[in-house]
Amino acid sequence: MTLVETMISASLGVVVLGAIMTMSFYTARSFASLDNLTEMDAESRVALDRMTRNIRQSRSLATFSETNLVFNMDSGGPLEYMYIKGAEELREINGANVEVLLTGCKGVRFDVFQRNSVSGSFNQFPNITATNQAKVVQIAWTCARNILGAEANVIEIQSAKIVIRN
C-alpha cells in the first residue's frame, strides 16, 4: 500500500466514523426527547385527573384569578391551586399541605364560566360576574423540559373544562 492509498482510506474512515457518530448522537437525543415527552404527558394527566377529582367535589368557588383558584370544600378548609411563574410550578395547597403538581410550566391559565351555554354557539359558556355563579372551570397549561441543556420538548397546551358538581 502506498502513502496516498493509506491517506485516502484514513480520510474515508474518518468521514464514515463522523457520519456514524452524528447519527448516533441524533438518535440518542431523539430517544431522550420521546422519553421526556412521555413523562411530561403522564405528569400532566396525573395532575389534571387530581385537579378534576378535587374540583368536582368542591362545594363552591371562593376566589379566582388567571393564575389562582380557591375552592370551598365540604371538609371545611379551602383548596387552592396556584401557578408560581418564577418557579414554573403549579401547586395544590390544601390547608397546611403544599404539593407541587407540575414543574416546568411555562404558563398556566384558569378561566371560570357559568354552566349555561351561550345559545347559537358551540362549547362556550358566559363569564361569571360573581363567584357563586361559577359552575365550569377551564384549566390550560404549557410545559417544557430541557434535553442536553436546551429546551427541546414543549407540550403546547393541556386543557380541560371541569364542572363543579355541587
pTM, entire model: 0.76
Q: Which residue has the higher pLDDT, 150 or 51?
A: 51
Across the range 149-161, mean pLDDT stands at: 72
Task: Indicate the residue type of 151.
Answer: E
Give, in order, the Cα–Cα distances in Å from 114 to each of 96, 145, 153.
30, 35, 35
Whether the CA torsion 96, 40, 146, 150 is positive or negative: it is: negative
pLDDT at 128 over 80: no
* pLDDT surpasses 70 at 90: yes
Q: What is the pLDDT of residue 132?
A: 79
Share of the chain above pLDDT 90, in %: 30
Query: What rounded mean pLDDT belongs to the chain?
Result: 85
Which residue has 391559565 as its cell numbers? 109
**Any idea what DSSP says for residue 68?**
E
Residue 158 burial (CB < 10 Å; 0-12/13-18/19+)?
Answer: buried
pLDDT of residue 42: 87
Phi (first) and psi of residue 36, to 5 degrees: -65, -45
User: Whole-angstrom Cα distance, residue 104 to residue 142?
Assistant: 9
Q: Please, are residues 160 and 128 in contact by the beta-carbon 8 Å criterion?
A: no
- For residues 2-24, b (16+ Cβ closer than 10 Å) or e, as one string? eeeeeeeeeeeeeeeeeeeeeee
